[in-house]
Amino acid sequence: MRQLYSASKHALRSSFNRIKIGLRFKIAMLGLIGVALVGSACLLGLRESADAERRSEASVALRFDVVQLSADYLQAGLIANEFLRTSDDKLIAKHEAAATAAKRRLQDIERRLGQSESDEAAKQSTALLTGLNLYLTRFQNLLSAKRVLGLTEHDGLQGKLRDATRRLEAKLAEIEDPRLSVQMLTMRRLEKDFILKGREKDGDDLIERASDFAGALSKTDLAADQEKELTALIGGYKSSFLAFMVSQQSLNEEIEDFGSVFARNRPTLDALITSAEARYRASQASAAQVRNLLDWIIGGVTLGVAALALLVGQRIAGSVTRTTAAMQRLAAGDFEAVLPGLERRDEIGEMARAVEAFKAASQRAAREEAEAKIAQQQIEAEHRRTDMHKLADGFEVAVGKVIETVFLASSSLESSAGSLTHTAETSRQLTIATASVSSEVSACVGTVAASAEQLLASVDDIGRRIEESTTMTDAAVQQTRQTSEHVLQLAHAGDRIGDIVGMIQTIARQTNLLALNATIEAARAGDAGRGFAVVAFEVKALAEQTAKATHDIQRQVADIQQATRSSASSIDEIVGLIERVSETIATISAAIEKQGLETRTMSDHVAKAASETVHVGTSIERVQRGAEHVESASRDVFAAAQSLANDSNVLRREVANFLGSVRSA
**3-state SS string for 277-321:** HHHHHHHHHHHHHHHHHHHHHHHHHHHHHHHHHHHHHHHHHHHHH
Which of 175-184, 243-252, 473-482 comes out lowest in average pLDDT? Answer: 473-482
What pLDDT score was predicted for residue 15? 46
Q: Tell me what percent of the chain is helix, strand and coil, each rounded to the nearest 5.
A: 95, 0, 5
220, HSE (Cβ side, Cα atoms, 13 Å): 23
Residue 79 scores a pLDDT above 70: yes
According to DSSP H, which parts of 114-199 are helical? 120-149, 156-175, 178-197
How far apart are the two ends of the chain, measured CA to CA in Å? 33
pTM score of the predicted model? 0.37
What pLDDT score was predicted for residue 4? 43
Which of 202-206, 212-216, 431-435 comes out lowest in average pLDDT? Answer: 431-435
pLDDT: which is higher, 12 or 587: 587
Q: What is the mean pLDDT of residues 372-401?
A: 70
Could you read off the pLDDT of 378-388 as tens digits, one per residue?
A: 777 677 777 66
Helix axes 200-217, 224-331, angle to 10 degrees: 160
Which of 135-149, 209-223, 451-465 comes out lowest in average pLDDT? Answer: 451-465
Q: Measure the CA–CA gap between 161 and 145, rounded to whole angstroms.
A: 16
Cβ-contact 9, 251 below 8 angstroms: no
Backbone angles phi, psi at 551, to 5 degrees: -65, -45
Residue 297 scores a pLDDT above 50: yes
What is the average pLDDT score of the chain? 70
What pLDDT score was predicted for residue 143? 82
CATH class of 150-267: mainly alpha
What is the gyration radius of the CA atoms in the chain, in angstroms? 68
What pLDDT score was predicted for residue 339? 62
Dmax (CA) of the chain: 202
Q: What is the mean pLDDT of residues 550-558?
A: 69
Q: Measure the CA–CA gap between 82 and 37, rounded to whole angstroms.
A: 67
Confidence of residue 171 (pLDDT cuts 50, 70, 90): confident
Q: What is the mean pLDDT of residues 517-521?
A: 58
Cβ-contact 180, 216 below 8 angstroms: yes
What pLDDT score was predicted for residue 20? 46
Q: How is residue 222 annotated by DSSP?
A: -
Confidence of residue 18 (pLDDT cuts 50, 70, 90): very low
What pLDDT score was predicted for residue 64? 77
Cβ-contact 11, 354 below 8 angstroms: yes
Confidence of residue 130 (pLDDT cuts 50, 70, 90): confident
pLDDT: which is higher, 97 or 655: 97
Domain boundaries, the chain: 62-144+276-293, 150-267, 420-664
Q: What is the mean pLDDT of residues 619-631?
A: 66
Domain 420-664 has CATH 3.40.1190.20: no
3-class state of residue 275 by DSSP: helix
Confidence of residue 513 (pLDDT cuts 50, 70, 90): low
What pLDDT score was predicted for residue 463? 65
Residue 17 scores a pLDDT above 50: no
**3-state SS string for 595-606:** HHHHHHHHHHHH
What pLDDT score was predicted for residue 336? 66
* Dihedral (CA of 523, 524, 525, 527) sign: positive
Could you read off the pLDDT of 463-498 as tens digits, one per residue?
A: 677 677 667 767 766 776 776 676 566 667 666 666
